[in-house]
Structure 1
Amino acid sequence: MAERQINPFLKSALEFGPVLGFFVAYLLLKDESFLIAGRAYEGFIVVTAGFIPVMLACTGLLWRLTGHLSRMQIVTAVLIVVFGGLSVWLNDERFFKMKPTLIYLLFGTALLAGLLRGESWLRSVMEGMMPLQHDGWMILTKRVTAFFFGLALLNEIVWRTLSTETWVYFKTFGLPAGVFVFFLLQSGLFKRYALEAEPGAPE
């Protein structure tokens, strides 16, 4: 089924709104402690418990409006439920902090498996956004694979060595900024391996 187009601002709100909501809620509740069913929960755990249904609701609404979810969106939603749920159930924030590591490792490993078969599985996901020659896709896929593994390692270093507040800032702003800068730096590759328009094709 082809993806239905929706207002780009609405799409961005559904994709990034829950993350920004998590960030704001954490800042408001980070120093609070809540007694629930006789058990004390820190603000981070309470915010995580609220984030899970909000993220799932936004993901479900996005699917209903567009008729499409990417593999990354589906895997991310599953990992949020699993690791966020473990954090809340065990009252241990470490599981939720591991989630980005698992996401980047999974997709890095998937791209690596495609490369070992001489294929770019990144192409099947992003071809509509940036048509490239085969060699361009292979180079980009190698770079993205290394980048994902690097982000997984970086997330582990940050959450294991720095404060929870620092990790929240890193997760909310650092990781998205890193992805943005990475693709910005690929502009030379995009120009070099861009597919030329066919003669007579509309520009």
Structure 2
Amino acid sequence: MSEQIDQLPGGPEPVPAPPPAKHGWLNFAIDFGPLLVFFLTYKFSSGGTGAFAATTGAIKGTVAFMVAIIVAMIVSKWKLGRISPMLWMSSILVLGFGALTIWFHDERFIVMKPTIIYAAFAALLLGGWLLKKPMLKYLLQSALEGVTEGGWLLLSRNWGLFFAALGVANHVMYELIQAKQMSFDLWLTIKVWGVTALSFLFTLTQVPVMLKHGLAVPESADKQA
């Protein structure tokens, strides 16, 4: 899915979301590539000890992430012919919180950003579900071929609840970091690998929903079955 939906500085990452039917690998790279750039830059730039070294690594990672998210938008427009609303929203928050992180030299903006992104998408998807509008379909600007409006509504509800859970979890980790009961390094590792793995697993749990509501299966898959 184009998260993106956390990946970012101001908190890494476009936000995780289910991949469209076509160009799945490219959408995954566009969504999670910038987050991986942030992670690697931070790890290789904060080799010293103490808070100053960690903050320096976070600042360098933030700059790299901001550049990477712009590149992701360019690649999306070039290869896919569009930039999805989800990627637009994530990118605006990446650049905004990234600028705050650099200006104030404060890692809290990095940790705070995913909570805001997850909450925004949860409110949008669940609000649309209550109003009988499948917002996930509009955010992705891609159709899972054959999925009915009812199917999109269920997917919007399910992903809205998933984003809400991620938002609560990220806020809890933010509070733990503030209380010095959790390190920024551990948070970043969970953000990059844990959330990515959870998003992938959650996407798999939604496959039966998509199949039940009309998702077209390629002929090659039918033959293999």
| Equivalent residue in structure 2 for 1:171, among 181, 188, 191 | 191
**Match of 1:20?**
36
Provide, for residues 117-153 of structure 1, a one-character-per-residue CA deviation record: whole Å limited to 9, x for no partner.
Answer: 2221123336622532333222222211111111111
Instruction: Indicate the SS of the match to 1:186.
Output: helix
Higher relative contact order at CA 8 Å, sep ≥6: structure 1 or structure 2?
2
Tell me the TM-score normalised to structure 2 length. Answer: 0.72
Seq. identity, %:
29
The size of the alignment, in residue pairs, is 187
1:103 aligns with 2:123: no
CA RMSD of aligned residues (A): 2.8
Q: Matches of 2:145 and 2:122 in 1, distance apart?
A: 20
Q: Matches of 1:113 and 1:158 in 2, distance apart?
A: 26
Instruction: Indicate the SS of the match to 1:128.
Output: coil
Q: Matches of 1:7 and 1:146 in 2, distance apart?
A: 26
Unaligned 5+ segments in structure 2 are 1-21, 177-181, 218-222
Instruction: Indicate the SS of the match to 1:17.
Output: helix
| Alpha carbons of structure 1 residues 45 and 185: separation in structure 2 relative to 1, 3 Å | same
Unaligned 5+ segments in structure 1 are 1-5, 34-39, 198-202
**Match of 2:60?**
46
Matched AA of 2:39: F
Quote the offset at 1:41 in angstroms. 5.0
Tell me the TM-score normalised to structure 1 length. Answer: 0.79
Query: What is the 5 A alignment of 1:81-160?
Result: 81-124=95-138, 125=140, 128-160=143-175
Provide, for residues 144-181 of structure 1, a one-character-per-residue CA deviation record: whole Å limited to 9, x for no partner.
Answer: 11111111111112233221111111111111211111
**Match of 1:36?**
none
| Alpha carbons of structure 1 residues 65 and 88: separation in structure 2 relative to 1, 3 Å | same
1:75 aligns with 2:89: yes
| Alpha carbons of structure 1 residues 118 and 80: separation in structure 2 relative to 1, 3 Å | same
Matched AA of 1:147: F
Q: Matches of 2:98 and 2:192 in 1, distance apart?
A: 16
Instruction: Indicate the SS of the match to 1:158.
Output: helix
Matched AA of 1:90: F
Q: Max radius of gyration: which structure?
A: 1
Q: Retained in 2: the 8 A contact 1:31–1:42?
A: no
